[in-house]
Amino acid sequence: MANQPPPLVDYNLFDADLPLRESLEREGGSWAHDMVRELGRLGGTEEAIDWGFQANANPPKLHTHDRFGNRIDEVEFHPAWHRLMEVAIGHGLHALPWREARPGAHAARAAEFYVWSQVEGGHGCPVSMTYAAVAALRKQPELAERWEPLMTSLDYDPGLRQRSAKKGVLFGMAMTEKQGGSDVRANTTKAVPIGAGGPGGEYLLTGHKWFCSAPMCDAFLVLAQAPGGLSCFLLPRVLDDGARNRFHIQRLKDKLGNRSNASSEIELDEAWAVMVGEEGRGVRTIIDMVNHTRLDCVIGSASLMRQAVAQATHHAAHRSSFGRLLSEQPLMVNVLADIAAESEAATLLMMRLAGAFDRATDPREYAFKRLALAVAKYWTCKRAIAVVAEALECHGGNGYVEESIMPRLYREAPLNSIWEGSGNVNALDVLRAMTREPESLDAFMSEVEDAAGSDPRFDHSLDELKRHLSDRDDAEARARIVVELMAVVLQASLLLRHGDPAVADAFCGSRLDSHGGRTFGTLRPNSKLAGIVDRHRPQI
């Protein structure tokens, strides 16, 4: 076909991803193998891939009023969006660990979310928030009892109706305001109690939320200032009597990427809500939701890297230049092996974190999760941007046109580094965790030290990390330096213990060795690089 690669379709995303398959087994999710494999098969079909393109080519539309002038505040989506959502909800991406109380459930769900997000990233937002909201809502057991059966249902049931008329519901959250952003304690939305108030009590919320993603959800966890301080509330879109709550969508954001998903500004005008958790403890109440969505930021970033690597290695295996396939040319092999190593490191890290969520009743695992999650959120979200950009360049001009998936991946890549805290927020959270919860650093160091003695470059970097951690001078200004080193040492430790030896060697030689290059494609030449590329290339 005139030196043009065939479309990357009709392949199984799970079968083509050996690091994921190995990690799912290792983290206790082998029972979910067939389930994830079936989702991987569907994700590789031409039909599913087309849904992703269609959902992004036809972004959501806001309808604030009906033809009679009544406020309806509804968002209209293309049918392709609904098909993507049907598959995600039907396969339990929003609820698997809450439905399956068994070891490895978070790991199994992470593998599913990672596979299906490669088809289209935007619809993962309401899926992720619904998954995460369950953890926070359990702080108010009577509300969890009322809502959780619908939150964990496998029925995708769009449309605004009261809870009693729904087969399944989706949850969102609304925290940030324009005057505060990440500083949610600067929120000005007011919560006025109806009656006594307090946990489980009724309130009326008034204020403006600058970013409210997925406003078509059935209910939201919202932060607002109650008389006793910043508190968390459950706010439904439709009240029990069928009336619309006073939740008004002012506009949909015109975003760089994530265009299939609706993100909005909303105005709350004495909107009815119920307090979740203790008054004045809103951040502590909602933090469980934030931690689960942070995990999904890591998973989403790893998913973007994997899809970018799959596209680049496939392209290079079928495109010739100067008389040879790109995949046979040493410099291209170097680039592809380098981004593949980054992708594998992200996949192992994401699955290790998901496993820690599964084993969080173990104090060591809980402590490890606390620190490693913030480290991983900071690092993988940034690396996804670089990997996608390099993979796009591997395609040349073919990667710069909308008919390829690469521009969509490129626009999507920065999102996770902003959602649930920018890089600075997460880097400072690492410092906070080490200071307030020193057991988290002990657990982190115990994890990475399991690889001590397996590679001299790793041992040198581990010693360097210990020196940085013992130096408290200018800690805030150096936070990114320390967190970056923590991240690559953790990834190297995982690769040395569980990854492909050639990938581990390439990673240590470039990310830990001071002689490593500053861009992808600067690995030291060796005969094993081609094997790394083959390990990551989909075989169709």
Is position 303 within any domain?
Answer: yes
Across residues 1-27, what is the average pLDDT? 95
Tell me the C-alpha distance between 217 and 179, whole Å. Answer: 25
Is position 258 within any domain?
Answer: yes
- For residue 27, the tally of other CB atoms under 10 A from its CB is 27
Closest CA to 276 of 428, 156, 462, 145: 145
What pTM value is reported for the model? Answer: 0.97
Across residues 236-264, what is the average pLDDT? 97
CATH number of the domain encompassing residue 199: 2.40.110.20
User: Quick one: 252 and 329 in the same domain?
Assistant: no
Is position 388 within any domain?
Answer: yes
> What does pLDDT average to over the chain?
96
**Sign of the dihedral through C-alpha 145, 107, 339, 498:** positive
Is position 151 within any domain?
Answer: no
475 sits in which H/E element: none
**Number of domains making up the chain:** 2
281, 303, 335: which is the final residue of a domain? 281
Per-residue model confidence (pLDDT) at position 182: 81
**Sign of the dihedral through C-alpha 528, 529, 532, 536:** negative
Q: Is 58 a residue whose pLDDT tops 90?
A: yes
Domain membership of residue 501 as a residue range: 285-536
Per-residue model confidence (pLDDT) at position 1: 62
Q: Is 472 a residue whose pLDDT tops 90?
A: no
Tell me the C-alpha distance between 486 and 468, whole Å. Answer: 10
Closest CA to 392 of 373, 375, 411: 411
Which residue has tokens 């939305």? 189
275 sits in which H/E element: strand 263-276
Tell me the C-alpha distance between 390 and 64, whole Å. Answer: 41
Confidence of residue 82 (pLDDT cuts 50, 70, 90): very high
Which residue has tokens 């996949």? 347
Is position 68 within any domain?
Answer: no
User: Quick one: 302 and 251 in the same domain?
Assistant: no
Amino acid at 143: L
Burial of 202 (0-12, 13-18, 19+ CB in 10 A): middle
pLDDT per position as a tens digit, 292-315: 999 999 999 999 999 999 999 999
Per-residue model confidence (pLDDT) at position 210: 95
Tell me the C-alpha distance between 412 and 384, whole Å. Answer: 10
Which stretches of 7-140 are DSSP H helices?
A: 18-26, 33-43, 46-57, 79-90, 96-99, 105-117, 124-137
User: Quick one: 454 and 516 in the same domain?
Assistant: yes
- For residue 380, the tally of other CB atoms under 10 A from its CB is 29
Is position 107 within any domain?
Answer: no
CATH number of the domain encompassing residue 371: 1.20.140.10
Confidence of residue 517 (pLDDT cuts 50, 70, 90): confident
Burial of 79 (0-12, 13-18, 19+ CB in 10 A): exposed
Tell me the C-alpha distance between 33 and 64, whole Å. Answer: 44
Q: What angle do CA 45, 50, 53 make, to 5 degrees?
A: 140
User: Quick one: 400 and 522 in the same domain?
Assistant: yes
User: Quick one: 367 and 227 in the same domain?
Assistant: no
Across residues 349-357, what is the average pLDDT? 98
281, 302, 319: which is the final residue of a domain? 281
User: Quick one: 169 and 289 in the same domain?
Assistant: no
Closest CA to 218 of 75, 50, 356, 376: 75
Enter the tokens of residue 384.
């996804």
Per-residue model confidence (pLDDT) at position 128: 98
User: Quick one: 434 and 344 in the same domain?
Assistant: yes
Closest CA to 262 of 297, 207, 212: 212
User: Quick one: 259 and 298 in the same domain?
Assistant: no
Q: Is 496 helix (H, G, I), strand (E, B) or coil?
A: helix
How far from the centroid of its chain's Cα atoms is residue 186's Cα?
A: 26
User: Quick one: 337 and 364 in the same domain?
Assistant: yes
User: Quick one: 443 and 342 in the same domain?
Assistant: yes
pLDDT per position as a tens digit, 357-400: 999 999 999 999 999 999 999 999 999 999 999 999 999 999 99
- For residue 445, the tally of other CB atoms under 10 A from its CB is 18
Tell me the C-alpha distance between 268 and 9, whole Å. Answer: 45
Across residues 129-135, what is the average pLDDT? 98
Q: How many residues does the chain have?
A: 540
User: Quick one: 292 and 311 in the same domain?
Assistant: yes
Per-residue model confidence (pLDDT) at position 344: 98
Q: Is 284 a residue whose pLDDT tops 90?
A: yes
281, 298, 326: which is the final residue of a domain? 281
User: Quick one: 432 and 361 in the same domain?
Assistant: yes
Q: Is 120 a residue whose pLDDT tops 90?
A: yes
Is position 30 within any domain?
Answer: no
Enter the tokens of residue 444.
């982190």
Enter the tokens of residue 461.
């970097």
Confidence of residue 516 (pLDDT cuts 50, 70, 90): confident
Is position 263 within any domain?
Answer: yes
Tell me the C-alpha distance between 482 and 190, whole Å. Answer: 39
